[in-house]
């Protein structure tokens, strides 16, 4: 597939994700971490306009100068922007206008890609594809939060099918010998800068579960008073539980003494066999503590990942999000992509059921703050 076809494929999938939405669904921002879907589709368009068309396509006319202010996410180098909490206040531009913006940029990109781009531009394009794929996953998770907090619990799509989970029946922990292991990306394909540089780490012998923690197992923690026993929580996590009155994972609802779970198909009876999902690092840590076990480090996870099934949900690790040895930021706005966030976050490994196909790899380093749980996040135990 040539670079122009890759562009079309990525752009088409974003719009396919939004097809089940009504116009009103595009504009809602229930919390700061969730962006309105229309902002996502405008932002990924702005990325190609800002970093490809404006600097490299001679004679390109910017669609609307105000859109740089509206759709810039966090790039200080590029200029001022609407603060994140105000994205839901943008009743204008309308959804229809943003789709016209996408069409305008897509047409310009089609003309630009009639000729083979230089190596530097091709590298930026591939980054843009991966950037849009990240926002495709964010679209899925933000849409779920928007509809899952609608009092009527409307379905996103009755046709959505959650992928099956490979379950190891005996559940025996996988044993990994102590030793020096190589961590990080290697090869000729794409990776983000935070996956570099490949380096050696020493690991003590450890064991890791072949399975993610299930809803049934997590329910035991709830029924045993896990959310009311400070002994299993970090001090900050315990404050979070009490302040927010947390009693269960996000999207769980106790109705007539039976647990239900909001899914893309609507509100359903809790499937006890499914992996527990949409939990914070605080909850993952507390559950592991209650079990007398722990979360794996990101290095342990990467070394063992070829020996278990992963990809149903992102998996919390015990590793802080920090740069690898020799990490360097690229010059200009692109250098703001990952490095500026390497503080006060925990690493998640793997992928989720809404990660774009082909976007995941063993060395991928996702990262979120310890209290967040609107992403598809789960637990794998280690000891």
Q: Domain-by-domain residue ranges, the chain?
A: 3-148, 174-378
Q: Is the pLDDT of residue 73 over 90?
A: no
Is 314 in a helix, a strand, or coil?
A: strand
- Answer for the pair 272, 215: CB distance below 8 angstroms, yes or no: yes
**Which regions of the chain does DSSP assign to beta strands (E)?**
174-176, 179-183, 199-203, 206-208, 252-255, 258-263, 266-269, 314-320, 346-349, 366-368, 377-378
Q: Would you state the pLDDT for residue 88?
A: 86
Is 168 in a helix, a strand, or coil?
A: coil
Record the tokens describing residue 151, joined without a space.
Answer: 């009092």
More confident residue, 23 or 88: 23
pLDDT band for position 75 (50/70/90)?
low
Share of the chain above pLDDT 70, in %: 97
Q: Would you state the pLDDT for residue 78?
A: 65
Q: Would you state the pLDDT for residue 80?
A: 79
- For the CA atoms of 261, 263, 267, 268, what is the dihedral angle to 10 degrees? -60
Q: Would you state the pLDDT for residue 263?
A: 98
Sign of CA dihedral 264, 370, 316, 299: positive
**Model confidence over 105-133: pLDDT tens digits?**
999 999 999 999 999 999 999 999 999 99
**Model confidence over 283-334: pLDDT tens digits?**
999 999 999 999 999 999 999 999 999 999 999 999 999 999 999 888 776 7
Q: Would you state the pLDDT for residue 135?
A: 98
Share of the chain above pLDDT 90, in %: 89
Phi, psi of 317 (to 5 degrees): -120, 170
Q: Would you state the pLDDT for residue 101?
A: 98
C-alpha–C-alpha distance, residues 185 and 199, integer Å: 9
174-378 is classed CATH 3.90.1580.10: yes
C-alpha–C-alpha distance, residues 370 and 282, integer Å: 6
- Answer for the pair 109, 54: CB distance below 8 angstroms, yes or no: no
C-alpha–C-alpha distance, residues 336 and 81, integer Å: 15
Number of alpha carbons in the 13 Å side-chain half-sphere of residue 105: 27
pLDDT band for position 336 (50/70/90)?
low
Longest CA span, the chain: 66
258 strand-pairing partners: 255
Record the tokens describing residue 232, joined without a space.
Answer: 């299993």
Q: Is the pLDDT of residue 339 over 90?
A: no
CA 238 distance to own-chain centroid: 25
288-300: string of b/e by CB count within 10 Å (b at 16+)? bbbbebebbbbbb
* Average pLDDT for 264-279: 97
Average pLDDT, rounded, for the chain: 95
Q: CA dist 176 to 37, 297, 301, 320, Å?
A: 43, 13, 11, 22
pTM above 0.85, yes or no: yes
- Answer for the pair 151, 45: CB distance below 8 angstroms, yes or no: no
Q: Would you state the pLDDT for residue 289?
A: 98
Q: Would you state the pLDDT for residue 1?
A: 79
**Model confidence over 220-257: pLDDT tens digits?**
999 999 999 999 999 999 999 999 999 999 999 999 99
Q: Would you state the pLDDT for residue 353?
A: 98
Find the helix packing angle between 3-18 and 119-148, rounded to 10°: 10
C-alpha–C-alpha distance, residues 136 and 155, integer Å: 18
Phi, psi of 147 (to 5 degrees): -75, -30
3-148 is classed CATH 1.20.120: yes
From the number of C-beta atoms within 10 Å of its C-beta (0-12, 13-18, 19+), residue 208 rates as: buried
pLDDT band for position 77 (50/70/90)?
low
Q: Is the pLDDT of residue 359 over 90?
A: yes
């Amino acid at each position: 597939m040539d670079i122009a076809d890759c562009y079309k494929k990525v752009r088409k999938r974003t719009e396919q994700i939004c097809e089940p939405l009504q116009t009103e669904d595009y504009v809602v921002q229930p919390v700061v971490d969730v962006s309105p879907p229309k902002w996502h589709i405008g932002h990924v368009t702005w990325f190609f306009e800002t970093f490809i068309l404006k600097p490299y396509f001679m004679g390109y006319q910017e669609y609307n100068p105000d859109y740089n202010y509206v759709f810039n996410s966090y790039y200080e180098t590029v200029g001022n922007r609407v603060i994140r909490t105000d994205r839901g206040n943008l009743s204008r531009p309308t959804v229809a206008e943003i789709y016209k913006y996408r069409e305008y940029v897509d047409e310009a990109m089609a003309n630009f890609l009639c000729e083979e781009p230089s190596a530097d531009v091709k590298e930026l394009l591939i980054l843009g594809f991966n950037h849009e794929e990240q926002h495709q996953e964010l679209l899925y998770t933000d849409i779920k939060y928007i509809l899952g907090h609608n009092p009527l619990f409307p379905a996103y799509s009755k046709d959505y099918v959650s992928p099956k989970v490979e379950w190891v029946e005996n559940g025996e922990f996988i044993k990994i010998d102590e030793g020096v292991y190589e961590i990080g990306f290697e090869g000729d394909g794409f990776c983000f800068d935070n996956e570099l540089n490949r380096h050696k780490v020493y690991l003590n012998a450890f064991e890791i579960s072949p399975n993610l923690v299930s809803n049934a197992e997590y329910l035991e923690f709830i029924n045993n008073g896990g959310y009311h026993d400070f002994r299993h929580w970090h001090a900050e996590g315990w404050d979070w539980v009490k302040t927010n009155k947390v009693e269960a994972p996000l999207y769980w609802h106790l109705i007539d003494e039976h647990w239900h779970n909001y899914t893309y198909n609507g509100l359903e009876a809790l499937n006890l066999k499914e992996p527990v999902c949409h939990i914070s690092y605080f909850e993952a840590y507390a559950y592991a503590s209650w079990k007398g076990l722990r979360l794996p480090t990101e290095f342990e996870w990467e070394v063992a990942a070829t020996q278990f099934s992963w990809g149903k949900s992102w998996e919390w690790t015990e590793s802080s999000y920090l740069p690898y040895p020799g990490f360097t930021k690229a010059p200009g706005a692109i250098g703001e992509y990952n490095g500026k966030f390497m503080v006060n976050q925990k690493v998640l490994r793997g992928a989720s059921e809404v990660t774009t196909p082909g976007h995941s790899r063993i060395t991928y380093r996702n990262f979120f703050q310890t209290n967040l749980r609107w992403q598809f996040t789960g637990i794998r135990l280690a000891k």
